[in-house]
Homo-oligomer: A and B are copies of this chain.
Amino acid sequence: MNFKMNTIEKLTEIFKEFPGIGERQAKRFVYFLMSKNGSYSENLSLMIKELKKDTAQCTECFKFFLSDNKKEDVCEICTDANADTSVLLVVEKDSDLESIHKSRIYNGKYFILGGLVPIVEKNTNTKIRISELISKIKKEKNLKEIILAFSLNPQGNHTDFYVRNQLKPVTESLGIKISSLGKGLSTGTELEYSDNDTLKNALKNRQ
């Protein structure tokens, strides 16, 4: 038997890491590339290298962004002079930031934590950027409020709890408020089919 993987197998393994892609579709991608003409593959291969060459990670919010030959090290959102510097919204990942930024409902600063805190785990601060967040908070002079914006699931709740505890010493001494996104009915929620927690939050946060 031959234990050396061939190019088809190697490429399938790489595509399997793509978000939402399993073995079957990874293989379809490879066959697709085999059937396309050379210039398509050439172009794809080139663009992937270009992308990496131009991708920088913002030193302020830790978002990945396009920077011509990585000359800039702060993203276009963090350099926006019109942003409200009194609020800092902390999210789990790049796509959460994208989602909120595109909705144009928020005009403050952002910070990407880089993950959620697993419910059972010891050394969490190695995974998420808690020390970077604390440095950022200390550095921002106008900051009045930190908004924790995590998904409403057990890990998101746990992360909210964990981050609040970690930030407390700093925020209390600096007089900065910590808030979390509001809970209640979300668009399309039908009372009849709602879970107890949602009903409870909706009732508690009535207004």
A95 touches B28 (CB 8 A): yes
CB of A169 within 8 A of chain B?
no
**Chain A residues touching B, majority SS:** helix
A191 touches B42 (CB 8 A): no
**Closest Cβ of chain B: how far from A146's Cβ, in Å?**
10
Instruction: State which residues 11-40 of A face B: CB under 8 Å.
Output: 11, 14, 17-20, 25, 28-36, 38, 40
CB of A123 within 8 A of chain B?
no
Bound Cα distance A158, B103 (Å): 23
**Identity of the chain B residue whose Cβ is nearest the Cβ of A55 in the assembled complex:** B34
Interchain residue pairs with CB less than 8 A apart (5): A34-B51, A96-B191, A103-B200, A185-B186, A186-B194
**Closest Cβ of chain B: how far from A29's Cβ, in Å?**
6
CB of A142 within 8 A of chain B?
no
Chain A: interface residue total (CB-CB under 8 A): 85
Chain B proximity mask over A131-156: 1 for CB below 8 Å, otherwise 0: 00000000000000001011111000
Copies in the complex: 4
CB of A207 within 8 A of chain B?
yes
Instruction: State which residues 174-196 of A face B: CB under 8 Å.
Output: 179-196
A180 touches B152 (CB 8 A): no
Instruction: State which residues 79-118 of A face B: CB under 8 Å.
Output: 91-96, 98-100, 103, 105-106
B-chain residues with CB within 8 Å of residue A30 when the two chains form the complex: 51
Q: 12 other contacts beyond A11-B48, A149-B202, with CB at 8 A cut-off?
A: A7-B47, A8-B66, A11-B44, A17-B36, A41-B48, A92-B191, A96-B192, A150-B191, A182-B205, A183-B205, A186-B198, A186-B202
